[in-house]
Amino acid sequence: MEYEPVIGLEVHAQLLTKTKIFCGCSTRFGAEPNSHTCPVCLGMPGVLPVLNKKVVEYAIKMALATNCTINSSNVWARKNYFYPDLPKGYQISQYDQPLAEHGYISLELGGSTKRIGITRIHMEEDAGKLIHDEINPVSYVDYNRTGVPLIEIVSEPDMRSPEEGAEYLRRLHEILVYLEICDGNMEEGSFRCDANVSLRPKGEDIFGTRTELKNMNSFRNVQRALEYEIKRQQYVLDNGDAVVQETRLWNDSQGMTHSMRGKEEAHDYRYFPDPDLVPVVISGDWIEEIRGSLPELPLEKRERFIKKYGIPPYDAGVLTASRALADFFETVAIKSGRPKLASNWVMGDLLGHLNEDKLLMEECPIRAQALSDMIGLIENGTISGKIAKDVFEEMWRSAKDPKEIIEEKGLVQITDSSALEAVIDQVLKHNSSQLEDYRKGKDKLFGFFVGQVMKATKGKANPKIVNEILQKKLSK
């Protein structure tokens, strides 16, 4: 039978606040174990939580960027369960009155656009970290991450293939990073994803039994895990068996999902409103204030670049991959007045060098002003495109201005016709046999003469003028 996969994704994104959601401890990653803890995040007797306002602002930004309806009254709830990484024995989260609901994001899939629904976005606190001893039957608990703010973004079961799932995640990730509310680092756990997947016969409306996939820490792994799980469920169904509703862990090295078989507790979280926290009331004014501070989102930017700068959709996609890159390109495009050239240089040489040196856009040694100056120098004929490559190399190495490099190295193009005429005369004189062949009709040798002129001038001759003079001389 032909099956259709039905995929829904749950993303946990750590918010980029300086301090934790309910106390003043730092959220910085990688500190010594338990060095970012205080009575509040350790859940000591008698402590009380006070909400970090930034968390709400960041969460509202994401809600707006994903077209959600924001609930005017938000209630904090306690989710009760025991685990050593949860110091209070409950997680402060949101339950029946989450921050935002009923949103969507758009995916570009093979030339068409598809909307993926966002069921809800809510705020909550992260748990700590458990490290299991490999020899002794003990685990070590580090509460540094306890209380780091998270938003949970739950999608509708709208995705129909692993590719769609991965694309949804990339777009969601891109939005979070664009908004500068999450660093998006998947290895450090700033962006985590669980997947729900089920199969149903093609054309059927009713959902099949789903499994929940956990432990996938890259986009690629999410896609691989979904691919594996779809095949596995298909195999189960083709054999006439039923899919068991369960949580399965992705094993990266084996490339398989494994059942947690019975290791799960029957969940009875006993949610109730947290009496220690008061409701968060979000006014229309507050929402509008935050809406006003939103940056242009990737999709909007992409469309604008195509329209305004006349660059191909593919290039627009590459150039908007990050806010810093897009801003860089746009500055060069505007300052140089040559968006096409700007796009070529940024996508080609600049990105190439960044990738080679494994640098972030923010660490780029060439400033946008310098690159647009360089483009200007090509445009006004001061340097040739070929020399520009060398100038760019030097700019990358020394972070100097292009003019300075050109002057220092004497790279200014020779545009003086009489000087060039003298060089050309010399070249023709020294290559009399080739000249003879040319005159006999071997037109191809024209390029040879240009090359010789370039060689003699160390590439500094203005090719246009050289062409003109050569044409004139050879036609005599």
Partner 1 sequence: MKITKDEIAYVAHLARLDFTESEYEKFTSQLNDILLYMDILNKVDTKGLEPMSHATPLHNAFRDDVEMKSLPVEASLANAPDDNGDSFIVPKVIE
Partner 2 sequence: MEPYELTIHELHEKLRSGELTSLDITASVFERIEAVEEEVHSYITLLKEDALESARKSDIEIRRGNMSQLTGIPIAVKDLLCTRGIKTTCGSHILEDFIPPYDATVIKKLKNAGAIFTGKTNMDEFAMGSSTETSYFGITKNPWDPERIPGGSSGGSAAAVAADECIASLGTDTGGSIRQPAALCGVVGLKPTYGRVSRFGLVAFASSLDQIGPMTKDVQDCAIMMNVIAGYDSNESTSVPAEVPDYESFLKRGIEGWTVGIPKEYFIEGMDPEVSSAVEKVIAFIEALGAKSCHISLPHTRYGVAAYYIVAPAEASSNLARYDGVKYGFRAAGSSNLMDMYKKSRSQGFGAEVKRRIMIGTYALSSGYYDAYYKKASQIRSLMKKDFDDAFKVCDVILTPTTPTPAFKIGEKTDDPLQMYLSDVFTLPANLAGIPGISIPCGYSEGGLPIGLQLLAGYFKEEKLLQAASAFEKQINLEKRRPLLHGI
> What does the binding site for partner 1 look like in residue numbers (CB under 8 A)?
17-19, 23-26, 32-39, 42, 50-54, 56, 73, 82-84, 130-133, 136-143, 263, 268, 270, 272-273, 275, 277-281
Tell me whether residue 82 or residue 429 sits nearer to partner 2 (CB atom). 82
Q: At what angle do helices 385-398 and 368-379 cross, to 10 degrees?
A: 160
Residues 103, 118: Cα–Cα separation, whole Å: 5
Q: Is the dihedral of CA 274, 276, 282, 287 positive or negative?
A: negative
* 4, 31, 47, 373: residue in contact with partner 2 (rule CB under 8 A): 47
Closest separation in Å from C-beta 385 to partner 1:
49
Closest separation in Å from C-beta 365 to partner 1:
32
CA distances from 185 to 17, 54, 174, 219 (A): 15, 20, 11, 11
Binding partner selected for residue 279 from partner 1, partner 2, none, CB under the kind-specific 5 to 8 Å limit: partner 1
Binding partner selected for residue 140 from partner 2, partner 1, none, CB under the kind-specific 5 to 8 Å limit: partner 1
Helices (H), 293-380: 298-309, 313-319, 323-336, 339-345, 351-356, 368-379
Residues 305, 24: Cα–Cα separation, whole Å: 41
CA 367 to chain centre: 21
Q: Which residues contact 58 (CB under 8 A, 6 or more apart)?
A: 15, 16, 17, 149, 151, 179, 181
Give how many residues touch partner 2 by CB under 8 A: 30
Binding partner selected for residue 281 from partner 2, partner 1, none, CB under the kind-specific 5 to 8 Å limit: partner 1
* 18, 28, 35, 39: residue in contact with partner 2 (rule CB under 8 A): 39
Tell me whether residue 48 or residue 244 sits nearer to partner 2 (CB atom). 48
Closest separation in Å from C-beta 139 to partner 1:
5
The radius of gyration of the chain from alpha carbons, rounded to an integer in Å, stands at 31
Closest separation in Å from C-beta 367 to partner 1:
31
Q: By rule CB under 8 A, what string of x and - marks binding of each residue 122-141 to partner 2?
A: ---------------x-x-x
Closest separation in Å from C-beta 87 to partner 2:
6
Specify the pairing of strand 211-216 against strand 129-132: unpaired
Collapse the DSSP code of 183 into the 3-class scheme (helix H, G, I; strand E, B; otherwise coil) and give the result: coil
Residue 261 in contact with partner 2, rule: CB under 8 A: no
Residues 385, 371: Cα–Cα separation, whole Å: 13
Q: Which residues bind partner 2 (CB under 8 A)?
A: 39, 42-51, 78, 80, 82, 84, 87-90, 137, 139, 141, 268, 270-272, 275-278
